[in-house]
Amino acid sequence: MTEVVDLDARRPHQAGPARCLHCGHEWAQVSLQGLMSFECPVCGLSKGVWVGIVRPMDDECIYECKCGNAMYFVLEDGIQCVCCGARSPFP
């Protein structure tokens, strides 16, 4: 019998492409938001990682630079826009 998983008990979650750093297997992963590694369905090792950029949930606040970019380098004393180089202290 297949195990039924209550998704409401496991929210918020994210979905996207994943790859195993051990065996190279690729698959579509669904897991709790914030989980950075998970078990590979082929080799069974916890070496699965997200492939590409992981986008925040739709209801989360996203900081955007005046240039329109939303990607930043996180520095010791603040953040720096990867597009125009503008810096800001942590909010």
| Mean pLDDT to the nearest integer, 51-65 | 77
Q: What is the pLDDT of residues 1-30, one digit of tens each?
A: 577 777 666 677 788 899 999 999 999 998
Q: What is the pLDDT of residues 25-57, one digit of tens each?
A: 999 998 887 788 889 999 999 999 988 876 666
Q: Count the neighbouring beta carbons within 10 Å of the beta carbon of residue 48.
A: 26
> What pLDDT shows up at residue 10?
63
Report the Cα–Cα distance between both ends of the chain, in Å, rounded: 50
> What pLDDT shows up at residue 7?
66
DSSP string, the chain: -PPP--GGGG-SEEEEEEEETTT--EEEEEEETT---B--TTT--S-EEE-SPPPPPTTS-----TTS---EEE-SSEEEETTT--EEE--
Q: Is the pLDDT of residue 84 over 70?
A: yes
> What pLDDT shows up at residue 78?
92
